Amino acid sequence: MQKINIDGTKIYKFEWNYVNSNMYVIEKENSVLVIDSIETEEVKKFWENRKNFVTNVTVILTHEHFDHIYGLNYLRNNFPCMVISSTLCSDNITDTKKNLSEYSDFMKQMNEELEKSKMDISPFICKPADIIFKYEINRVWMGHDLQLIQTPGHTQGSICVIFDGKIVFTGDSLLRKQIITKLPGGSKKDYMNVTRKKLLTLSKQVEIVCPGHGEPDIAERFEKFI
């Protein structure tokens, strides 16, 4: 677990060593905001320590891939949760093929780093999100402004989450490497025609990028990967 302080906002970053995917957690009073969800022993201990005072959890999914929803069922089973995602993401998390958990063994065979993790992921599904949207939605969480915008390309249901106009959680729509658009549901055309333009604008507006894999950093250092 890593603690990050951005303009007074404390963010916990957890990493799932299976594919190094990130979960971000922000706490305020008895409420918690989660960007993507993973499940590890460290994560479960974190939640166990909060069972007595956390009364609601808001989970925002950046996209439907299993490495970003792996902890969602655990959260729903242990806390009052409200899950927000794009309509397409909500549909796709209910399908083992579309969330790619069906192919986790194949992906492991093709990737030496996954093989080293010694983890086996069984195909799984999640129930649909509680709040869904197309294109864009604005929400307020504990006095903080959230802007969720659809950013297709990596997947059909990918989104970015802008927190107070300063921090953007990009999932796999912006990383420190070329964005993968060749997986099922991906589209290079959508990325180039829709998402790239949005990201170029965002990179000039926000201060910090928190990606779905890798470390957060100032926005200008991500611009060359757009």
- Total domain count, the chain: 1
pTM score: 0.94
Long-range CB pairs of 14-19, under 8 A, 24+ apart, other chains included: 14/38, 14/40, 14/42, 14/43, 14/46, 16/40, 16/67, 16/70, 17/117, 18/67, 18/114, 18/117, 18/119, 18/121, 19/67, 19/114, 19/213
SS3 172: coil
For residue 108, the model assigns a pLDDT of 54
For residue 19, the model assigns a pLDDT of 83
- Domain of 134, CATH number, reads 3.60.15.10
DSSP string across 77-140: HHS-EEEEEEHHHHHHTT-TTTSSGGGHHHHHHH-HHHHHTT--------PPPSEEESSEEEEE
- pLDDT tens, residue by residue, 149-204: 999 999 999 999 999 999 999 999 999 999 999 998 999 999 999 999 999 999 99
For residue 115, the model assigns a pLDDT of 44
Positive/negative CA dihedral, 208, 209, 215, 221? negative
Which regions of the chain are under pLDDT 50?
110, 114-116
For residue 110, the model assigns a pLDDT of 46
Structure token digits, residue 195: 């998402």
**51 Cβ neighbours under 8 A, 6+ residues apart:** 78, 79
Domain extent at residue 52: 2-225
For residue 119, the model assigns a pLDDT of 67
For residue 121, the model assigns a pLDDT of 84
